[in-house]
Structure 1
């Protein structure tokens, strides 16, 4: 498996889009949504992620997730973490954060 490393958030999102992760997912309380519909927690897997930490501002901390849906959907989710983390259900938080420790 090829390991990808990106220096910036924009490089990561652009690199993933070039590799076919073209949908833009948004985080809802207990699902991911995009212009083609929604994916419930059991309907997607996190294939890879890239974490970026702000040098001076903790609000700049973000994670880019490469997401694959059970029906072949491929997209990107950009989410803040730390003090900038968005509201989500405990179940969604567990799914996203489990992947950070692998």
Structure 2
């Protein structure tokens, strides 16, 4: 069992949730980003977005690694920052596209 934090653009919220469920069914503890109930990008103020970003990095600190949901190889700036942060902490990094190519998800 590992503790993994899912990272990725909220554009891929459906994939993020699918991955989270699949990982938990395989026996892992999964930490996910906060997805607004109405799924609107403007659901949070700039100050709130900064807090959520900081909390997401705290999740990465608690994790054994991160799972990057990079549909069609897309990685936005926030996710790039999270990957670099995870690398700086020597965390395991798994990419969604790698697992799709290997037919593991």
Same fold (TM over 0.5): no
Higher relative contact order (CA 8 A, sep 6+): 2
TM-score normalised by the chain length of structure 1: 0.31
Please identify which structure carries the higher strand content: 1
TM-score normalised by the chain length of structure 2: 0.31
Please identify which structure carries the higher helix content: 2
